[in-house]
Amino acid sequence: MGKKPTYEELEQRIKGLEAKALEGKQAEEAPQESERFLQDVFNAIKDGISVLDLNLKIVRVNPWIEEMYSKEGKFAERKCYEVYQKRDTPCPWCPSLKAIETGETHNTIVPYPSEENPTGWIDLSSFPLRNIEGDIVGVIEYAKDITERKRAEEELRNSEKRLEQAVEGNSVPTFIIDINHTITHWNKACENLTGFSASEAVGTKKQWLAFYHEERPVMADFIVDGSTEEEMVERYKHISYNKSTLIEGAYEGENFYPDLGEKGKWIFFTAAPLIDQQGKIVGAIETFQDVSKRKQAEEKIKEYSESLENMVEVRTKELRRALYDTEEERDKIDGILKSIADGLIVTDQYNRIILMNRVAEELLGVRFSEVIDRPIDVATRDKSLKEFFKSTPDKTKTELFLDFELPGKDKKHPRIIRAKRTPIKDKKSAYVGTIILMEDVTREHEIDRMKTELISTAAHELKTPLTSIQGYSELLISRDDIQEKETKEFLTYINDRSRHLAAIVNNMLYILNIESGLGIQIKKESVDMTKLIRESVSAFQERYPDCVFKIDLPEGKDSISLDREKMGLVLENLLSNAVKFSSSNTAVAIRGEKTDKYYQLFIEDEGIGMTTEQADKVFDKFYRADMSSTAVEGAGLGMTIVKYIIEAHNGTIHVKSQHGKGTVVKFLLKI
């Protein structure tokens, strides 16, 4: 027998055995702990995790996915595209298929909850899942909700687009620089003022080049640099400028630039900082106003004032003292001279011209130098205007008015000018002269004409259907012996006439909105033109079974960016005209052509057609080729609305017709 172990040796052996037992137990529990740890991590991730097999079946999802698609029920053994995209086949852009195929990670942006009706967006990444041997056995999809980011990006793009539209569409010359002094916007008005094109300016730091021979900062550069007021004073010694009272951190000034135009220009400019949400300067905007005419007008007014003073001094010292020896009369003259927005003529007490501004010269077609100190009636050839000018002021009236016409852009639309004559009186209410203001009121007259035309047309078009509705309704009310078939027939007719009335009213309101300046609001979206046309034709086939529709459209899907509702209204009007002005059993041909640049549609009927003169007027408001009592009903607004809609889509429309043989309407939309 060997040596008997000591107590200490036995204790060490026991501890060793316990350690080995513990290691064995830990080895058995390690996979379970690892599984629990991975599950905790899996559940704790605040984005979506899906585990798919090679057939895209869902093996496992985390709570984020379960909550996002809680309405879909069970996930196990279902295809991912069935649950997540409500499809019967895999998505064509599926990153998981690509990850399985290539063994690499793939990423895409996915609409949520479906491609057809997205309300949100998910950033989807797919990672190939491999076994110990390195074979791909599935895929892990990682989904992150980026809806807010997408909306923010879209809002940023819209904001940038609105800024660009606001700048480019502004009639005020404007440019914008970023924090690096690089030009980002240089609008058309700025091009016209400086002769420096946007293509030359944008992307450069040459904003100085339009105004100076040598490179030097402009006001916008100082704004971006955050220059202090002391630095501004030092740098702008030669220019009259001051802080803006309207915009914080902005400055405005006025200077003469000899290199602008042929003789140089006086420019009033304003520069203001562009501030981000954190209050940091990210750029500057500078605007310009050509005040050369104002400066010239001030010089002219100064000359006129001196000339007026001399004439008045020669002819009547009393009038000169009345106008210039008192503070009140000087204020009155200053007010007259500065009121140059409309045509302005000032006469003395003998009705002789002593002042005329440039607008009045242009309206009357004369020069002030030619009529100064002459009777006012020599300034015009219009008889009614001569009488108005020569008329003696009525002591009981403070103002006289006269509307007269001047040639406009075309013979059909003359300009309407309203002349207002007001006497000038001194402190003692003695008559000392006259002020005549001439204001362009063409727009107001056009609105009055539209109102009259609308009321007249409405009365005419609404009378007949209203009479019919009243007659049939009275029959239904007063008679008890009407059969059910007749009742249904009467009610159907009343309903049809009511729809016709509603269409007339809607068309009139549509035209009124356009003519009043509200215009047409176009909301473009991607529209399958072929599908839209076929749907419209199908509706007419049901309503007019005796009419033959021949359709020849491009094969496949023709997606065009347009306003679906308004283009549907265009097709409704054109097809309605083709059917209404054609006999039964005649054909209406609808033919579409598409190229890389445009989509063109022809609608041809075999109806009564029009003369060349009638076709030329077909787009005029309220125009109807046949105004007889037997004519097809309508207010004559459909083709006007069609033309407005097509042109609002930057398209064109033409009508070709032959009396007795039919009409072809063609419109073209740019893609």
537-562 mean pLDDT: 86
The strands making up 598-605's β-sheet, listed across from edge to edge, are 548-552, 587-594, 598-605, 662-670, 652-658
* Closest alpha carbon to 572 in 476, 506, 671: 506
Question: Any idea what the Cα angle at residue 441 is, between residues 438 and 446, rounded to 5°?
Answer: 160
pLDDT at 245: 78
Q: What is the pLDDT of residue 101?
A: 92
267-279 exposure pattern, b = at least 16 Cβ within 10 A, e = fewer: bbbbbbbbeeeee
| Model confidence at 267: pLDDT above 50 | yes
Per-residue pLDDT at 528 exceeds 80: yes
Who contacts 398 (Cβ-Cβ below 8 Å, separation ≥6)? 422, 423
* DSSP E strands, 62-200: 106-112, 120-130, 136-145, 174-178, 183-186
Neighbours of 604 (CB within 10 A): 18
Percent of the chain clearing pLDDT 70 (strictly above)? 81
* Six token digits for residue 245: 């009272």
Asked if residues 185 and 167 have their Cβ atoms less than 8 Å apart, the reply is: yes
Q: What are phi and psi of 261, to 5 degrees?
A: 70, -170
Position 98 scores a pLDDT of 92
Closest CA to 80 of 109, 46, 52: 52
pLDDT mean over 98-105: 92
pLDDT-derived band at 595, boundaries 50, 70, 90: confident
What pLDDT is recorded for position 8? 57
* pLDDT value of position 501: 73
pLDDT at 471: 74
Average pLDDT of the segment spanning 552-570: 87
pLDDT exceeds cutoff 90 at 602: yes
pLDDT band, very low/low/confident/very high, at 627 (cuts 50, 70, 90): very low
Is the pLDDT confidence value at 630 over 50?
A: no
Q: Using 50, 70 and 90 to split pLDDT, how confident is the model at 613?
A: confident
Mean pLDDT comparison of 88-102, 238-252, 574-588, highest-scoring range: 88-102
pLDDT for position 443: 78
Q: What is the pTM of this model?
A: 0.35
Q: What pLDDT does 136 receive?
A: 92
Mean residue pLDDT across the chain: 80
Nearest in space to 173 (alpha carbons), one of 265, 282, 249: 265
**Residue 623's pLDDT band (boundaries 50, 70, 90)?**
low
> Are the C-beta atoms of 163 and 175 separated by less than 8 Å?
no
Q: Is the pLDDT of residue 601 over 60?
A: yes
pLDDT at position 1 is 45
Higher pLDDT, 539 or 2: 539
Which helix (DSSP H) or strand (DSSP E) does residue 199 occupy?
helix 198-201
Confidence of residue 631 (pLDDT cuts 50, 70, 90): very low
Q: Do 424 and 435 form a contact (C-beta atoms < 8 A)?
A: yes
What are the CA-CA distances from residue 394 to residues 382, 418, 432, 608 (Å)?
22, 19, 14, 62
| 526 pLDDT higher than 70 | yes
Token output for 447: 């609105």
Q: How far apart are CA 284 and CA 177, in angstroms?
A: 6
Evaluate whether 185 touches 164 at the Cβ level (below 8 Å): yes
pLDDT tens for each residue of 409-441:
777 778 888 888 888 888 887 888 888 888 888
pLDDT at site 447: 66
Whether residue 302 has pLDDT greater than 70: yes
Q: In whole angstroms, what is the distance from residue 621 CA to residue 45 CA? A: 64
The per-residue pLDDT for 334 is 53
Q: pLDDT by residue (tens digit) across 29-76? A: 556 666 676 677 777 788 889 899 999 999 888 888 888 887 877 887
Q: How many CA atoms lie within 13 A of 285 on its CB side?
A: 16
Q: Quick one: average pLDDT of 7-36?
A: 55
**Does 380 have pLDDT greater than 60?**
yes
Lowest mean pLDDT among 243-247, 334-338, 574-578: 334-338
**121 neighbors 153 (Cβ within 8 angstroms):** no
Q: Which amino acid is at 99?
A: A
Distances (CA, A) of 461 to 80, 434, 466: 59, 49, 9
**Which H/E stretch holds residue 463?**
helix 442-478
What are 102-151's pLDDT values in tens digits?
999 999 988 876 666 777 888 999 999 998 888 999 999 998 888 888 88
